[in-house]
Amino acid sequence: MTSDKFGFQFDPFCHLDSTKDARLHEYLVIPKTVEIAWGDAPVAIFAQPGGGKSALRSYTEKVFRGTRGVKLPITYVPATYSPDPEFHFRALRQSLAGSIFIYLISYPDLFLQFSSQRQAQTLQLLTYLPYRLDTTLDIIANTQSIEEIEQFLGVRAISGIEKPGRAHQELVRILRNSQTRKTKDADIATLLTQAQEIFEIKSFHILVDGLDGFIETTDETALFTWIAPLLDRAESWSQEQIYLKFFLPTLLSAFPENLTGIQTATLKWDDGLLAEVIRRRLYVASGGAFDSLDAIATPELRNVEFHLARQLPAEQKLPRKIILKARHLLERADHNTDGYIHYNDVFTKEANYAGQA
């Protein structure tokens, strides 16, 4: 499908993986029940695969980035499964180091104003980065774009800065000349407290996501046991303004006894919300020209996106599924001689099953 065929400035249905959609925040639909993710409390949000967990996590990260470091997000997506109870805490040290590094990139002048002691404390945190510091410093020294640094770190900046300047070059110089070594096996809570004191951060919000991929290969009981060390810290960490936010597969909601002190909500979708997923994407992609598939359908059709949502079986009423159905529908329209959506494109048996695989 070509975007300009229907008057789109871009294809609003090309991304099924929300983490790869740079425009997601322009048209994301968020049910009210899960807005608790933005509060100062530990939270567990449950949803099916494709049900919007990663989209909500990404938007939650953006919400906290908007505080300019007052409430600092740390996104943690496990790269692999390990029964080692210390696995998460080692990985969190790396995630914290990445978040602190992007903080420095966002506000290099702040670091330059630190005392030598405070600079040394900051450097101590950076020793937990999962990659060679020299490699990153080379990128900072040679790039003209903050975006390139973001892509390498896998973390978005928390300021509106677009290009590195003189302060970044001085930051690079100081870091290159540092000889700091990390303290062996420093506790993650100690490092978080240290970072709070250095940067005067009011609260940390640790966003735990990406467990869906392990469901297919790991028993849900074992998976819940795996994340239990984090769940066990949620209530006590909240007393230190360190808030764990879990974005979990629905299967794990069967363990309520392990969620003490954690607010919970389920990300659910009805036909109206799913139709709104399509409408918002259409509105943004068309530059505000229209917000319904009716605009590119023959006159006898009304409320097309709502009908698409109704066709989905109950277990498939998910954003990913409605986006896939809309994509298939536009592909059918693209092949029609007049370029419009027809009744048979929406209501035939073949149309009803499109996008449900």
pLDDT per position as a tens digit, 193-212: 999 999 999 999 999 999 88
Domain-located, residue 117: yes
Helix (H, G, I), strand (E, B) or coil at 257: helix
In the block, tokens 């003209």 appear at: 144
Structure tokens at 44: 């567990």
Q: Are residues 92 and 210 in the same domain?
A: yes
- Measure the CA–CA gap between 151 and 19, rounded to whole angstroms: 13
Residue 122, amino acid:
T
Domain-located, residue 35: no
State the average pLDDT over residues 176-185.
71
Q: Are residues 53 and 154 in the same domain?
A: yes
Residue 271 and residue 309 in contact, taking contact as beta carbons nearer than 8 Å = yes
Tell me the residue range of the domain where 286 lies: 3-18+269-353
- Measure the CA–CA gap between 61 and 207, rounded to whole angstroms: 8
- Measure the CA–CA gap between 327 and 345, rounded to whole angstroms: 12
The pLDDT of residue 99 is 94
Higher pLDDT, 86 or 113: 113
pTM: 0.89
Higher pLDDT, 72 or 214: 72
Distances (CA, A) of 213 to 13, 33, 219, 223, 310: 22, 25, 12, 11, 28
Distance of alpha carbon 138 from its chain centroid, rounded? 27
Domain-located, residue 8: yes
Q: Are residues 285 and 259 in the same domain?
A: no
Q: Are residues 229 and 152 in the same domain?
A: yes
The pLDDT of residue 168 is 94
Task: Tell me the pLDDT tens digit for each residue of 249-300.
Answer: 998 888 777 788 899 999 999 999 999 999 999 999 999 999 999 999 999 9
- Measure the CA–CA gap between 280 and 181, rounded to whole angstroms: 50
Domain-located, residue 34: no
Q: Are residues 284 and 335 in the same domain?
A: yes
- Measure the CA–CA gap between 260 and 180, rounded to whole angstroms: 39
Residue 102 and residue 75 in contact, taking contact as beta carbons nearer than 8 Å = no
Q: Are residues 226 and 126 in the same domain?
A: yes
Residue 11 and residue 3 in contact, taking contact as beta carbons nearer than 8 Å = yes
Residue 232, amino acid:
D
Q: Which of 215, 235, 266 is the last residue of a domain?
A: 266
- Measure the CA–CA gap between 29 and 64, rounded to whole angstroms: 18
The pLDDT of residue 275 is 97
Q: Is the pLDDT of residue 135 over 80?
A: yes
Residue 78 and residue 88 in contact, taking contact as beta carbons nearer than 8 Å = yes
Domain-located, residue 29: no
State the average pLDDT over residues 114-123.
92
Q: Are residues 245 and 285 in the same domain?
A: no
The pLDDT of residue 183 is 59
Q: List all residues 6 or more positions away from 214 whose beta carbon is below 8 Å from its beta carbon.
A: 78, 81, 223
Task: Tell me the pLDDT tens digit for each residue of 222-245.
Answer: 888 889 899 999 999 999 999 999
In the block, tokens 């092949």 appear at: 335
Least confident window among 37-41, 115-119, 173-177, 185-189: 185-189
The pLDDT of residue 36 is 96
Identify the H or E element spanning 173: helix 166-176
Q: Into how many domains does the chain fold?
A: 2
Question: Contacts by 33-39 with C-beta closer than 8 Å and gap 24+?
Answer: 33/265, 33/266, 33/267, 33/268, 34/265, 34/267, 36/263, 36/265, 37/245, 37/265, 38/63, 38/64, 39/263
Q: Are residues 181 and 117 in the same domain?
A: yes
% residues pLDDT > 90 (the chain): 67
Residue 93 and residue 225 in contact, taking contact as beta carbons nearer than 8 Å = no
Task: Tell me the pLDDT tens digit for each residue of 94-104.
Answer: 999 999 999 99
Domain-located, residue 30: no
Domain-located, residue 28: no
Q: Which of 266, 281, 297 is the last residue of a domain?
A: 266
- Measure the CA–CA gap between 252 and 209, rounded to whole angstroms: 13
Nearest C-alpha neighbor of 57 from the set 258, 255, 194, 248: 248
Q: Are residues 105 and 247 in the same domain?
A: yes
Domain-located, residue 326: yes
Q: Are residues 252 and 273 in the same domain?
A: no
Q: Are residues 161 and 306 in the same domain?
A: no
353 — phi, psi (to 5°)?
-90, -10
The pLDDT of residue 357 is 54
Q: Is the pLDDT of residue 72 over 60?
A: yes
CA angle 226, 60, 269 (to 5 degrees): 85
Higher pLDDT, 85 or 173: 173
Q: Which of 233, 266, 299 is the last residue of a domain?
A: 266
Q: Are residues 189 and 93 in the same domain?
A: yes
